[in-house]
Amino acid sequence: MKPEKILKRYGRSGDNLLAILHDIQDASPEHYLSDADLRSAADYLRLPYSFVHGVASFYTMYSLKPRGRNLIRVCQSPPCHLLGSSTISRELIKVLGVGFGETTADRLFTLEMTSCLGVCGVAPAMMVNDRVYGNLTAERIAGIIDDLRRAQ
Ligand code: FES
């Protein structure tokens, strides 16, 4: 959905800024907020661009640079950590050939750390876009990435 359509779903109140930025980023195939997106939100809400940029920069849930088509977020909170998230992270780094905060050259994957995903019962867990993968083992990682590549 285009940012203009998303904006029209909201009233012109600054209280809606976080939700608007969230929806625009969700609709972006590259999972980020462009400069034009920030300007559109600022204009629509009649807020200074510098304020909107400051808000988007402050929260780690927003990205101001393009990310891969598949956003992989690996939980690093204690329950997942205790059950082996560091092994999962090492395997992802090996299979993808990129570190945390980086995007693969084919722009298919961005690897990020996150705090609890709310699915501790299936720790260790990661999320790829909106899908949760739980009870992870290092042996499953290459297969999951292959399936995601084939689905593109
Ligand atoms: S600690 Fe990892 S999902 Fe809750």
Cβ–ligand 1 distance for 20 under 6 Å, the answer no
Residue 148's contacts (CB-CB under 8 Å, 6 or more residues apart) are 70, 108, 109, 128
pLDDT tens-digit map of 82-106: 999 999 999 999 999 999 999 999 9
Tell me: do 46 and 10 sit in the same domain.
yes
Mean pLDDT of 4-11: 95
Centre of ligand 1 to C-alpha 28, Å, is 26
pLDDT the model gives residue 24: 97
Among 58, 87, 104, the domain-final residue is 58
State what percent of residues in the chain have pLDDT above 70: 100
pLDDT the model gives residue 92: 98
Q: Best mutation site among 76, 77, 86, 122 for ligand 1, i.e. most ligand atoms within 8 A of its Cβ? A: 77
Count: domains in the chain: 2
pTM of the model: 0.85
**Average pLDDT for the chain:** 96
Tell me: do 80 and 146 sit in the same domain.
yes
Q: How confident is the model at residue 125 (pLDDT cuts 50, 70, 90)?
A: very high
pLDDT the model gives residue 62: 94
**Is residue 123 situated within a structural domain?**
yes
Tell me: do 50 and 77 sit in the same domain.
no
Residue 122: CATH number of its domain = 3.40.30.10
Q: How confident is the model at residue 61 (pLDDT cuts 50, 70, 90)?
A: confident
Nearest-atom index, ligand 1, CA of 76: 2
**Is residue 46 situated within a structural domain?**
yes
Nearest-atom index, ligand 1, CA of 79: 1
Q: Which domain holds residue 33?
A: 3-58
Tell me: do 102 and 145 sit in the same domain.
yes
Look at residue 132 and tell me whether its pLDDT is greater than 90: yes
Mean pLDDT of 49-76: 95
pLDDT the model gives residue 88: 98
**Is residue 63 situated within a structural domain?**
no
Tell me: do 54 and 78 sit in the same domain.
no
Tell me: do 50 and 74 sit in the same domain.
no
Alpha carbon distance 30, 143 (integer Å): 23
Centre of ligand 1 to C-alpha 123, Å, is 6
**Is residue 81 situated within a structural domain?**
yes
Nearest-atom index, ligand 1, CA of 124: 2
Q: Are 110 and 68 in contact (CB under 8 A)?
A: yes
Mean pLDDT of 20-31: 94
Cβ–ligand 1 distance for 125 under 6 Å, the answer yes
Tell me: do 34 and 74 sit in the same domain.
no
Listed in sequence order, the DSSP H helices in the chain are: 3-8, 17-27, 35-45, 49-58, 78-82, 85-96, 138-150
Q: Best mutation site among 73, 80, 85, 122 for ligand 1, i.e. most ligand atoms within 8 A of its Cβ? A: 80
Tell me: do 144 and 76 sit in the same domain.
yes
